[in-house]
Amino acid sequence: MFFILFLIFCIARLLSIQLFRLKYFADIAKKQHNLFVELEPRRGAIYDAKGRPLAANISCDSLYAVPAQIPDEYKEELIQKLSLVLKLDYSYLKDRLYRKKSFIWLARKITPSAKEAIEKLEIPGLGFLKESKRCYPNMYLASHIIGFAGLDNLGLDGLELQFDGYLKGQSGWALLLRDARQKKLDLWEKMVSPRDGYDLILTIDEVIQYIAERELDSIAKKYKAKGASIVVLDPHTGAVLALANRPTYDLNESSFTDLDIKRNRSVCDLFEPGSVFKIVTASAALEEKKISEQDKVFCENGSYRVAAHTLHDHRPHGWLTFRQVIEQSSNIGTTKVAQILGPQTVYRYAKLFGFGSKLGIELPGEISGMLKEPKFWSGVSIGAIPIGHEVGVTALQLASAISVIANGGQLMKPYIIKEIRDRHQEVIKLSSPVLINKVISTDTASRLRSILRGVIEEGTGKLAKLPDISAAGKTGTAQKIESDGRYSHSKFIASFIGFAPVDEPVIAIAVIVDEPRPYYFGGVVAAPVFKNVALDVLRYLKASGPANEILASNEIKRTD
């Protein structure tokens, strides 16, 4: 009788399981034999204008565990061994291996030697999945442009961040089958393929970028500078051919780099430009026909009172022609011309040149700078703003401003993305040159090119002179502001902006050096950088083809 009752109980239990708990136990069996795995998409690569890789992906292995499959008697020994191989904290591994989960990451994107050492342990419950790791083959080159991606291949800075939506792609997934011992069979029940990210093709040229960084690095070390920036543009299109800052960092070691070093000074740092800003005053004076090149200005022998402030030149001048005022960078001569123009006109032309506004480059962190409306000017502002004080600019704005004079009077929107392509090389997005506004007439631009050529040949920028190639530019030396609001007598910004050749400009360059020592004049510190970069870049472009081939055939568009 007992056996009959036990048999009836077993049959009832089996019927209960079959009829009422079938789905529950089927799900458990499915979890035991199926492993859900996210399929990582290929992150899009980043290339220079000639297709050379600046950011790419390499295949690597990531270690995971199924804690329930690892016998408890092995766990302590395993934790100790993994801690040594992976150089991970003991408590971190212990916390993860004692979790009651069917899948957990232990270490992502490990080295081949670490994988080999772990495989020799032959511990059940450990496995490897293939992932991709972001790699930057040129390490330091263009670091502030490219930025970097994190462990999960998500962009964290630079173009990697700004265009993460294009680069990262879309994840897929698969249900992998496992045998009774929970080993992968490399078969899948269901799968949705990932969509790979798009590739970025930049306007920068790897060779030009190297030339610019080499010279910037040299001058920063020579003068023990706190920082430095350089921007090289195609003045006709606004295409960025190179952009760099010092200090810099290795993109492959970004997690160990201080945030201050990662900052893109060329678009994020605000500074008073000093005399390079005089191109605005000179342009306004010629365009408004308030003065001509040969009109004379009395420069007060080096001392001139403006409201409550006495203005000085770096060396005394008497009578100078307007051309000489710019060539010799006379603060007094420029201020007297600005007084003829008036605050409204000076402000209007500064805005036309792009100061006080974002230029719209595709890099994160761009600032608008600082340009006060005339209603906020003090009595001394007319003697400060026209010569580059009481105004804040960026290196990119200065490069765009000098490009206006180089290209015949047009402010072009600077851009750094040439194309976005998919894995089949189909163009998803194509950039075109964009005209922001017309600043000055072609005639005024031509006259200014001649004056700025004189700055290099006869004035303060002689160290920027190129052998056998004409060049034009403007020097700048500005006192920095101390924490108490006063101008420093020991901290300066040295700068030079220019273009070459004069008659048919191919490149425009802005060089900024922050707190150089012991020399600090723009004509001494920054001008030689312009010379060396311009000379080597022009030689390279002559050998490799037209400088503005990036988008020379595209129609110029106008911003809203």
Name the active-site residue from 275, 381, 400, 495: 275
Residue with tokens 């994020």: 268
What number of CA atoms fall less than 13 Å from residue 209's CA on the CB side?
Answer: 27
Omega before 501 cis (within 30°)?
Answer: yes
CB-based contact 419:430 (threshold 8 Å): yes
CB atoms within 10 A of CB 493: 27
Between CA 198 and CA 319 the distance in angstroms is 61
In a 3-state reduction of DSSP, which class is residue 417?
strand
275: annotated active-site residue: yes
Whether the CB-CB separation of 342 and 377 falls below 8 Å is answered with: no
Quote the tokens at residue 327: 């060539």
**Degrees, nearest 5: CA angle 342-343-345:** 75
Q: 3-state class of 142 per DSSP? A: coil
Report the C-alpha gap between 497 and 135 in whole angstroms: 34
CA-based max dimension of the chain: 130
Closest CA to 54 of 159, 133, 138: 138
Contact 522, 388 (CB under 8 A): no
Count of Cβ atoms closer than 10 Å to residue 220 Cβ: 22
Question: Can you tell me the distance from the alpha carbon of 247 to that of 262, in angstroms, rounded to the nearest whole number?
Answer: 8
Q: Give the active site residues.
A: 275
